[in-house]
Structure 1
Amino acid sequence: MTRLKTAMTIIPVSLIGVPTDVGAGTPGARMGPDALRVAGIVQAIAHFGVEVRDCGNLSGPGNPDLPAVNGFRHMREVAAWNRSVHDAVHAELHAGRLPIMLGGDHCLAIGSISAVARHCRETGKSLRVLWFDAHADFNTASVTPTGNIHGMPGAFLCGYGPSLLTEIGGHVPAILPQDIRQIGIRSVDDGEKRFLAEIGIEVFDMRYVDEVGMRETMEQALAGVASDTHLHVSLDVDFLDPEIAPGVGTTVRGGPTYREAQLCMEMIADTGRLRSLDIVELNPALDLRNTTAELAVDLVESLFGKSTLMRLHG
């Protein structure tokens, strides 16, 4: 029987700006939230009949630009920002809204995803995290080459690290390795590779995408998503090939094309299960005429149901 694909359930959206690059090695991601606003993210989502509330920007400590201490740079500052993110994201979820965290660097996923995991525990939902990134972000203090915490959030969320960062959501670990699927990975440190294998993170790297295609990759990443699933997308814009997304501090060649990235978002929209979103690592200081921010907004439109045609599915 042929049916018309229906749009995702309309849930009011809350934008939460988090203007910090305290977890990154290159400054500039602190300007990301306003670049996304300039690129029209509010209007793009509202176009789909969604009520959008811009909650403004959170505040927190500045970037002290200090060297690592015991394997971590700026741990206390990172913890302060992530506690604020956790509280803001959890409040919007509790109010029945779909929070979009506008970063900021990817260390902020500690706060956003721990809040999502807490909400899932409170509501009895299962959690699926789709982590779009050029990097695995599963470093620990013992294997990190830099101490930059934007390369560590996955490890903290799975309970590996200091309590200051693993306990933000009130439950350790915040998520389990089987809750997360990583897509587009193409830069992993040596120690990180071993750690990923040991704890069993499912990683769809770019070789895998090249071999089977993005459609098959996404079908596997979304396998098991059901009506009781809270689907969280953590979108690091360095997931994209730097030829189309230059405005990031950690570019890695060989990323997905524009159409591959759009297909990812369209297939997520088809599930109707998107309930929270991170957009991180946009660095306007390195961008060209805000093109990377505009591309990120294009992808958000696809997440909310933009398509070329009204598609029929059997």
Structure 2
Amino acid sequence: MKFLEVFGAERIPWERIDDIKDSAPEVIVWAIPAMFFFVLVELVISYKQNKNYYDKKETLGSVGLGLGNVLISTWIKVSLFYMAVWIYNIVPWRMELNWWTLVPCYVFFDFCSYWTHRISHSQRFWWATHVAHHSGEHYNLTVSFRLSWVQYLKVIFLFPVAVMGFHPVIFFVTNQIAILFQFWVHTEYIRRLPRFFEYIFATPSNHRVHHGSQEKYIDKNFGATFIFWDRMFNTYQKEEEQAVYGITHNIEHKANPLHINFHEYADMLRDVKHARGWKRKLFYIFGSPTRIANAKKQAQRA
């Protein structure tokens, strides 16, 4: 009965939206000091141990991307919250604001994140919103800041979570926790964890594979929090050899956030401009990044 009683919540009056939005916990804002503290600790330790985990230009680029995202997300959060409330008000199976609903919301959110992530590697249009995260050639905690400023386009793939009827506050807290979870997996210092943990969660070991540019590692381990999605959908790869980080054609201007964000769009426009016929042009926009890279290699050999 407790489970059934959570459904059938009243609509949120528009005049109360700002109050509800302001009451939602700012989890990421609270966590920012701790995140920078651990980055500093990792940076100092790696320097003292003469580890090549940090590169000055890449670190500046990652921090620049992160600061830009903080500014952009502040503005976008308001629009998305209004949209989440609008969806919440039109679905007939609205859930009350109960904190235990965070658990099913998180699991379903992560399921959608898995497919969002997988699509981002499958079509160049969406890859352009994600490639910034993979462009770093060094793996450290600042890579978690290395997120594209246009990644918010992918919010459309998370609409099913909102349509499920979760309260907007639950939806936004879930999103923030999911983002924070991905901070700690971007490190070389945490090696393999106990087997049951590696089997369920996207650990540093599992996620290092995802950032590897070797053929066996490309397009593997898409899970954001839970790695069992990859096991279910046959995209799992165990960490076997040291990953070579970066993309197949590493970028120049490693400290320039604008270049990191938009270099793929510039390449896409150039490819479309020189392609003959609409079919070929569409291929360079929506084709698989791997197939496009192979097509370019073949063209260069010809």
TM-score, normalised via structure 2 length = 0.27
TM-score, normalised via structure 1 length = 0.26
More helix per residue: 1 or 2?
A: 2
More strand per residue: 1 or 2?
A: 1
